[in-house]
Structure 1
Amino acid sequence: MKNYAYVVLSNPVPGRDQEYNDWYSNRHLADVVAVPGFVSAQRFRLVDPEAEDAPHQRYMAIYRMQTDDPSAIVAELQTLVETGQMEMSDAFSQSDMAIHLYEEITPVVEV
């Protein structure tokens, strides 16, 4: 099986940061990792959102996947969201997100 990173860049709806972060960290990460093929999840916050070349999304989630068919896993995730089987918070700005799928090309290098 190959390793992939499913990267989601997002923002909360204005004024709803606390609700967004609570839902994302305490509910959504675990919901996604429960989908077969996802193996881990972690969130990050942009350090300098005022930097000239900064993306407009302030938050990033990286979901690690192990699979031979990443498209099938992404399709399953989309189905769960679209059918309401996976709860999405209305504090999550869906119109302001970007999603990218990356294939691992090197092993992890650690110290």
Structure 2
Amino acid sequence: MARYKMIVQLDPGEGREDAFLDFYPQTHVRDILTVPGVLSAQFLRRVHAISDAGPHEWAYMVIYEVECDDPKELQDAMVAGMKSGAIRADFDLLKAERRTVFYEALTDVLSGTTAGTVGGADVG
């Protein structure tokens, strides 16, 4: 099985941020963690954008680490869990636009001590 990062970008609906923050990290993300193959999750809030993100700048993101043979099958299992009620989701708390993408790692995780130099300056 391969490991992937599943990135979910989303925004709360207008006037729903408090309810969104009460529900999504505490309930929905934890329910997703019960799906076989979902190993970990971290819920994040955007605090600064270095460049224009284009037509949509997402305020929140969840990074899941997953392990599976086929990301589409894992996504289908999550959708089935939401349809059955095993994974609680409240789409009324969200803006209609959201984005979910699976990424595969092309390198090991690098740190300042393994990165080397940038522009002749020692970064490690």
TM bucket (normalised to shorter chain) is 0.7 to 0.9
CA distance in 1, matches of 2:108, 2:68: 16
Counterpart contact for 1:7–1:100, Cα < 8 Å: yes
Matches within 5 A, 1:1-111: 1-48=1-48, 53-54=52-53, 55-89=56-90, 90-93=92-95, 95-110=96-111, 111=113
Q: Which sections of structure 1, spanning at least 5 residues, go unmatched?
A: none
TM-score (norm 2): 0.78
Tell me which amino acid in the other structure corresponds to 1:13.
G
Q: Which sections of structure 2, spanning at least 5 residues, go unmatched?
A: 114-124
Counterpart contact for 2:31–2:86, Cα < 8 Å: no
Which structure ranks higher in relative contact order (CA pairs < 8 Å, sequence separation ≥ 6)? 1
The two structures, once aligned, show a CA RMSD in angstroms of 1.8
C-alpha deviation, 1:82, in angstroms: 2.7
Percent identical among aligned pairs is 30
How big is each residue's C-alpha offset from its partner over 1:18-41, in whole Å with a ceiling of 9 and x where there is no partner? 110111111111111110000000
TM-score (norm 1): 0.86
More strand by percentage: 2
CA distance in 1, matches of 2:69, 2:43: 25
